[in-house]
Amino acid sequence: MSNSYVLKNVTIGDGATTDIQVDGDKIVAIAAGLIAAEVIDCTGLVALPGCVDLHTHLREPGFEQSETVLTGTQSAAMGGFTAVHAMANTSPVADTAGVVEQVAALGREAGYADVYPIGAVTVGLAGKQMAELGAMANSKAKVRVFSDDGKCVHDPVLMRRALEYVKAFDGVVAQHAQEPRLTEGAQMNEGAVSAELGLTGWPAVAEESIIARDVLLAEHVGSRVHICHLSTAGSVEIVRWAKARGIHVTAEVTPHHLLLTDELVRSYDAVYKVNPPLRTQADVLALREALIDGTIDIIATDHAPHPIESKDCEWSAAAFGMLGLETAASIAQQVLIDSGKSSWGRLAEVLSINPAAIGRDTEQGQAIAVGSFANLALIDPKVTRKVVADSASKSKNSPYVGLELPGRVVHTIYRGHFTVRDAKLAESGRK
């Protein structure tokens, strides 16, 4: 199709129904009654800024049996995402300018979403020596988010130095909050269920103690810190306190921590094994409330693909992680919209506007307005779908298979091109 068209009868967030005209990679008009050579009927569809994931594992380079940048961004497109931030725990680790530039180039070649590499905080994720943060920031990839995700930057001196260092280029350290000494051999949330099953417990304080330390360090040095995948009610209270104090902290919650609980571990199905672990229903409710009231800034998928053999095995031997890109918008709709507790405006904030702002993605997370880049997700909020195992991802470890979820991404538009059209993967339009 041409790259000039009108989206007809589309509802923009919580607002009115209108038409959107796209020409090239920009929105050029928003008004009723627009005419173009190509008109796409969007009656009943809600338009949102393209979703932005601040926490995606694309696995390439090194673990292409699980995912590649191409398949990961195709999965992202199916979920309404037009940008993803690729975590550093690849092989080689993304701890140098060369590796982050390679990942960014693979994203451009794939053409399904902007791929922003996340740089490692420490060399080899080993927690011993700070990586080349400045070189990665000044590289062609222009890295602004740094994380050892999968591992905690547990040394407080190293964490302080990293927070001080990223201030020079307006970067942010995204911390995987997990005190390693408190989680040795841990298999699931520490609580009544772990006691009954005889599995080594993962205490909430292992997460909460690191968050408390790091918000105080961020305050001390006047830097930005981002907390990955909040999972406990206690973590919410610490972040809420830190924000009230004026500390520059942002926080994310995953779709699975908004929906699933540790009761699912009774099945011993390793699809439910994740880091941090699924927590209690009380934690789920606290996380939902914090997302609604703004204490938690964003939803981030922590999309973590694994080959079948890494999950189809006994619980203790299984890998941690779940898929999340293709179902995130539906879970956000269930928590924010269908609950009657929030709005499409808030959903756009947590899935697009805020993650783009945290990551300093200047061409993403823009309001749907004339002159903005045409990065859009068009959702049918009235349909209900049963999640199936088949997905665009190379892996199949979704914990949602068989569940009924609301809403469906009908079209995803990335820089004016359809990457998903009529709920099917489209050609990216890459030249």
**pLDDT band (50, 70, 90) for residue 1:** very low
CA distance 46 to 10: 6
Q: Each residue of 95-123: pLDDT tens digit?
A: 999 999 999 999 999 999 999 999 999 99
User: Does the pLDDT value for residue 17 go beyond 60?
Assistant: yes
> CA 44, 354, 392, 25 torsion: positive or negative?
positive
pTM for this predicted structure: 0.97
User: Does the pLDDT value for residue 279 go beyond 70?
Assistant: yes
The pLDDT assigned to 45 comes to 98
Name the more confident of 300 and 431. Answer: 300
User: Does the pLDDT value for residue 428 go beyond 80?
Assistant: no
**pLDDT band (50, 70, 90) for residue 430:** low
Distances (CA, A) of 420 to 5, 25, 145, 372, 416: 15, 16, 28, 20, 12
Give the torsion through C-alpha atoms of 401, 407, 409, 415, to 10 deg. -130
**pLDDT band (50, 70, 90) for residue 427:** confident
What is the full DSSP assignment across 375-404?
-EEEEEEEEEEE--S--SSS----TTTT-E
Mean predicted confidence (pLDDT) in 198-223: 98
> 163 phi and psi, to 5 degrees?
-60, -40
The pLDDT assigned to 431 comes to 40
- HSE-up (13 A, CA, CB side) for residue 83: 31
Mean predicted confidence (pLDDT) in 410-419: 98
Distance of CA 52 to the CA centre of its chain: 7
> CA 281, 243, 207, 85 torsion: positive or negative?
positive
Overall fold of domain 49-359: TIM Barrel (3.20.20)
User: Does the pLDDT value for residue 40 go beyond 60?
Assistant: yes
Mean predicted confidence (pLDDT) in 311-332: 97
The pLDDT assigned to 331 comes to 98
The H or E element containing residue 12 is strand 4-12
User: Does the pLDDT value for residue 289 go beyond 70?
Assistant: yes
Distance of CA 229 to the CA centre of its chain: 9
Average pLDDT, the chain: 97
**pLDDT band (50, 70, 90) for residue 247:** very high
Mean predicted confidence (pLDDT) in 63-76: 98
Mean predicted confidence (pLDDT) in 263-286: 98
CA distance 237 to 312: 36
Mean predicted confidence (pLDDT) in 223-244: 98
**pLDDT band (50, 70, 90) for residue 352:** very high
User: Does the pLDDT value for residue 429 go beyond 70?
Assistant: no
CA distance 186 to 274: 11
CATH 3.40.30.10 fits 4-46+372-384+403-425, yes or no: no
The H or E element containing residue 216 is helix 204-221
Mean predicted confidence (pLDDT) in 404-428: 96
Q: Each residue of 302-311: pLDDT tens digit?
A: 999 999 999 9
Mean predicted confidence (pLDDT) in 140-154: 98
Name the more confident of 29 and 3. Answer: 29
**pLDDT band (50, 70, 90) for residue 147:** very high
User: Could you list the active site residues?
Assistant: 302
Mean predicted confidence (pLDDT) in 373-399: 97
Q: Hey, is 142 helix, strand or coil? A: coil
The pLDDT assigned to 39 comes to 97
What residue spans define the domains of the chain? 4-46+372-384+403-425, 49-359
